[in-house]
Amino acid sequence: MKKRDSLEATSAWARLNRPQAEGPDVAMFALPYDGAACFRAGAAKGPDRIRSLSSEIPPVLETGQDLKNLLVRDFGNIPFGNNFVASYPKIEEMITQKLEHSFVLTLGGDHSIAIPVHRAFSQKATEPIGLIFIDAHTDLSDQFQGSAYSNACPLRRTMETASFSPENTILVGTRCFEPAGLSYIQDHKIKIYPAHIVAERGIFAVASEIVQHLSGLSNVYLSIDIDVLDPAFAPGTGIPDAGGLTTRELMTLIRAMDALPVVGADLVEVAPNLDVSDVTSFAALRVIMEILGLVDRRKIRLERYTLL
């Protein structure tokens, strides 16, 4: 790597990226794939755009928390062939290798990229994993448009793994229901906080109940689709569904998860080609920084944040 390229890599993620770090606090990966998008494509460009903008922000949260001692390593875009589903084993292997010592944060891509990522976590875990699925949609269709691997199906596929389960899953911000997804929620009694409930009850009350519900678990995972935000805050996504959360509510929710053992996360569906003045990419960056804040605070408390 040339010196200039190295400096640019170091400046990424608010200048927290350490390209040579062994056993970083946070291992970042990207899966720039949107071949499973059921409507508008563009999320394949999301990781690179967010990464390119990440050097423009400081390593300090709005609370004044300085992340300067957090070791982040961006491992770049995971390569995959023409058949993304056939690449699942390779993707799972790369993710699994880092779960021993690092918090793994994966960027998409459409939400189907979570399928191999969640499989990797499930295979590595020795205890159940609580899942907070923050999305405008349920993503619980068994098949959509003839595919079991559509971006309308990732949560359904995750529910088929050993470590994730309906009883330890909570949906937040949901407001667009396919009949199949609604039936699955009702049949399996999945806890859900639709966007209108968040608006009526307030994000602090919702966050408090989520913490209480998952407090007995050793592992909690965050899966965040940027379309959970109202289109006023995130227009650059495949299906910008009206009536969503505000950026403030999402940031507050993530910060409140400080009380839980969050061991990994993914953030998906940022489509720069559909964005306006990079509003969605910058919102995603703010969300990523709040996730890094979670990891940093646990590091300061000398708590283990890797998968159990």
Question: Is the four-CA dihedral 249, 250, 255, 260 of positive or negative sign?
Answer: positive
Angle (nearest 5°) at CA 44 between 42 and 47 = 115
pLDDT of residue 303: 62
pLDDT digits (tens, 9 = 90+) for 281-300: 999 999 999 999 999 999 98
pLDDT digits (tens, 9 = 90+) for 126-179: 999 999 999 999 999 987 776 777 778 899 999 999 999 999 999 999 999 989
Which amino acid is located at 25 in the chain?
Answer: D
Distance (Å) of CA 54 to CA 50, 59, 199: 6, 10, 30
Q: What domains are there in the chain, each with its CATH number?
A: 3-300 (3.40.800.10)
Which amino acid is located at 206 in the chain?
Answer: V
Give the integer Cα–Cα distance in Å for 245 and 231: 9
Tokens of 34: 């949107």
Cβ neighbours of residue 2 under 8 Å, at least 6 residues apart?
none
Give the integer Cα–Cα distance in Å for 240 and 261: 31
pLDDT digits (tens, 9 = 90+) for 13-69: 999 999 998 999 999 999 999 876 777 889 999 999 999 999 999 999 999 999 999
pLDDT digits (tens, 9 = 90+) for 237-264: 999 999 999 999 999 999 999 999 999 9
Give the integer Cα–Cα distance in Å for 130 and 169: 6
Cβ neighbours of residue 295 under 8 Å, at least 6 residues apart?
25, 26, 70, 103, 262, 305
